[in-house]
């Protein structure tokens, strides 16, 4: 039985399948830096995770002239050294990347902001905003809390895979090195080129394929032994479809607002339970605060289908010390179907979280709400302070 990746073309009319030939990058004239590096920089998702590229051909080290291929920040704030090889990794690709990771261990948040600003040809303020949105955080305290490596190649030498497996076993916590196999295919001599990306290290485990005894049928997610209830919920919710959906809605909403109206704080992950999830956006200035006063997106699962949710959007109050503000805002009208219920102004929409149109509708709705309401709150805040 072959464990090698394969790609087939399917003819739906005669129901026949035909294997598409695996090819060599070199035989097609593709280069590591001119081609493969550009593909990954343009779409780092090809490596199988959410990465923000902050540097390409980076060589800003003070005692050596080494130059790494790509540098990224992952969703947890770790710096990720990405080393790309074309058809063969060579026997020391891991050592090359380890050197680069060691050079970066003391990089500060300011260093990383400058790298991103230079790479993206933007201001340091914009680079800071991009990093905060990528980390889904209120600050950059988690930035460069650790370093890790991704090696990507068509094939890997056994010296590389053996060393990667050993280092991952010895390193505490998360895996230090990931190996992503990029396998090129061409459909005929003049046909389109395809690249299949497969993470071969860390080796996929068997736990996700085994049914065991659990608290509920939908909660089988990998969590560390001895973790708290909150940590288990975080592990379950932080990267799931609803978190990704609400993060996308939030990012679109913020991007659509004038700079001085953009909330500077948001939820890091979608809290709640299988039938109800929430996401908050707020500001660092008074009266604002998560679970004090914040704009919200609440999703309630509908019976029509697994991806059908009713979204409630609006402004919520959850602390008694802002009752004065709450009462003064009760007369505010932003939408025709707006309601004040359970300490919240809200409107509702129903849609499918797997559809881009629903995300677009919600982002435009919450964007409009924020743009209208925030100046009113600022005005009331000024009156109260006086």
pLDDT tens-digit readout, 53-71: 999 998 888 888 888 999 9
CA–CA separation, 330 vs 19, rounded Å?
A: 65
pTM exceeds 0.75, yes or no: no
What is the CATH code of the structural domain delimited by 241-380? 3.30.1460
- Mean per-residue pLDDT over the chain, rounded: 80
346-376 confidence digits (pLDDT tens): 677 778 888 888 888 889 888 988 988 888 8
Domain ranges (residues) in the chain? 8-207, 241-380
- In this prediction, the residues of the chain whose per-residue pLDDT falls under 50 are 1, 206-210, 213-231, 331, 340-344
Confidence (pLDDT) at 332: 54
Q: Is 356 helix (H, G, I), strand (E, B) or coil?
A: helix
Residues 6+ away with beta carbon under 8 Å from 34: none
Express as a percent the part of the chain with pLDDT over 70: 80
Confidence (pLDDT) at 341: 46
CB atoms within 10 A of CB 46: 18
| Domain 8-207, architecture per CATH | 3-Layer(aba) Sandwich (3.40)
Confidence (pLDDT) at 331: 45
Residue with tokens 């497996």: 165
Residue with tokens 């056994």: 158
Q: Is 89 helix (H, G, I), strand (E, B) or coil?
A: coil
Confidence (pLDDT) at 119: 94
Confidence (pLDDT) at 100: 93
CA–CA separation, 105 vs 98, rounded Å?
A: 11
Confidence (pLDDT) at 65: 80
Confidence (pLDDT) at 85: 92
Burial of 352 (0-12, 13-18, 19+ CB in 10 A): middle
Confidence (pLDDT) at 72: 96
CA–CA separation, 155 vs 183, rounded Å?
A: 8
Tokens of 117: 């600003």
């Amino acid at each position: 039985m072959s464990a090698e990746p394969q790609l087939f073309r399917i003819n739906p009319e005669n129901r026949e399948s035909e294997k598409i030939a695996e090819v060599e990058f070199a035989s097609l004239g593709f280069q590591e830096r001119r081609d493969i590096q550009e593909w990954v920089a343009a779409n780092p998702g090809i490596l199988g995770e959410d990465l923000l590229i902050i540097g390409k051909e980076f060589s800003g080290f003070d005692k050596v002239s080494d130059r790494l291929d790509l540098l990224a920040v992952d969703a947890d704030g770790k710096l990720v050294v990405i080393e790309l090889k074309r058809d063969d990794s060579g026997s020391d690709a891991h050592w090359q990347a380890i050197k680069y990771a060691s050079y970066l261990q003391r990089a500060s948040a300011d260093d990383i902001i400058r790298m991103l600003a230079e790479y993206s040809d933007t201001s340091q303020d914009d680079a800071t905003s991009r990093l905060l949105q990528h980390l889904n955080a209120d600050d950059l305290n988690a930035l460069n809390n650790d370093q890790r490596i991704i090696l990507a190649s068509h094939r890997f030498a056994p010296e590389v895979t053996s060393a990667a497996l050993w280092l991952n076993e010895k390193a505490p916590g998360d895996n230090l090195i990931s190996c992503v196999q990029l396998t090129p295919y061409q459909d005929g001599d003049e046909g389109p080129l395809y690249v299949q990306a497969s993470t071969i290290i860390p080796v996929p485990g068997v736990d996700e394929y085994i049914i065991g005894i659990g608290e509920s049928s939908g909660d089988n997610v990998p969590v560390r032994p001895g973790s708290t209830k909150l940590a288990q919920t975080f592990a379950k919710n932080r990267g799931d479809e609803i978190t990704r959906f609400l993060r996308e809605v939030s990012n679109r909403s913020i991007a659509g607002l004038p700079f001085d109206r953009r909330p500077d704080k948001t939820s890091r992950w979608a809290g709640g339970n299988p039938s109800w999830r929430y996401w908050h956006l707020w500001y660092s200035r008074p009266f604002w605060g998560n679970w004090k006063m914040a704009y919200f997106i609440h999703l309630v699962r509908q019976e029509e289908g697994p991806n059908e949710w009713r979204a409630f959007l609006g402004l919520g109050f959850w602390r008694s010390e802002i009752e004065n503000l709450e009462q003064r805002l009760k007369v505010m009208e932003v939408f025709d179907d707006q309601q004040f219920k359970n300490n919240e102004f809200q409107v509702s929409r129903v849609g499918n979280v797997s559809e881009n149109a629903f995300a677009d509708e919600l982002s435009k709705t919450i964007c409009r709400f924020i743009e209208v309401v925030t100046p009113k709150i600022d005005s009331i805040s000024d009156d109260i302070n006086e």
